[in-house]
Structure 1
Amino acid sequence: MSRFNAQVDARIYSPKEKHAVIFDTFNNLKSGEEMELLNDHDPKPLHYQFLAEYTEQFEWEYLEQGPEVWRVAIKKK
């Protein structure tokens, strides 16, 4: 069984849809649950957006850092 409660493969969404899908998925998590994010580049700008909008409400863990695929575990506190 996967450790993740949800997964978003951002590679399949258009740039304008990506963040909305990611934040919707995060908002639907319960406290203590985790989502896995897959992307084709380092999602550092997204991390900064999480820091600004969800201060102290999440944990961010890189699982794989390219060069072709980035995987991030995002846990809701």
Structure 2
Amino acid sequence: MRHEQSLPTRLDLREIPAEERRLRVLSTFGHLHPGDTLLLTHSHPSNPLRYLLLAEAPRAFTWQYLEEGPQIWRICIRKMLQPLAAGCDRGARQGRTS
């Protein structure tokens, strides 16, 4: 059975206690199906979360800033259908898309 892409999962990190954010992002990302997206909203840049995902799921996602402050940061994280080949994720690592 083929998975149909669902609506983006939204997670507003401003509403989650700081000590719970990393686990919540990892758990939410882990439950996404390939091709699904996670839309994060945060009150500041989320580089530590991006590095955490890179450590846990290298080349398994894209990371795109939709809005970059100064008061709100919105990030679209898409779980890849297949992991990117080594070297092809440089833009995702830097928060850019092709």
TM-score, normalised to structure 2, is 0.72
Q: Which runs of 5+ in 1 are unaligned?
A: none
Structure number with higher relative contact order (C-alpha < 8 Å, ≥ 6 residues apart): 1
Report which of the two structures shows the higher radius of gyration computed on alpha carbons. Answer: 2
Tell me the residue number matched to 2:54. 51
The reply to whether residue 76 of structure 1 matches residue 89 of structure 2 is no
Query: Aligned residues, how many?
Result: 75
| Amino-acid identity (%) | 35
RMSD: 1.2
Q: How far off is 1:50 after superposition?
A: 1.1
Q: Which runs of 5+ in 2 are unaligned?
A: 1-5, 81-98
- Please list every run of at least 4 consecutive aligned residues from structure 1 whose deviation after the TM superposition is greater than 3 angstroms: none
> After superposition, what is the alpha-carbon deviation per residue over 1:11-55, rounded to whole angstroms, capped at 9, x for unaligned?
001111111111111111100000100000000111111111110
Distance 1:68 1:4 in 2: 25
The one-letter code sitting in structure 1 at the alignment partner of 2:72 is V
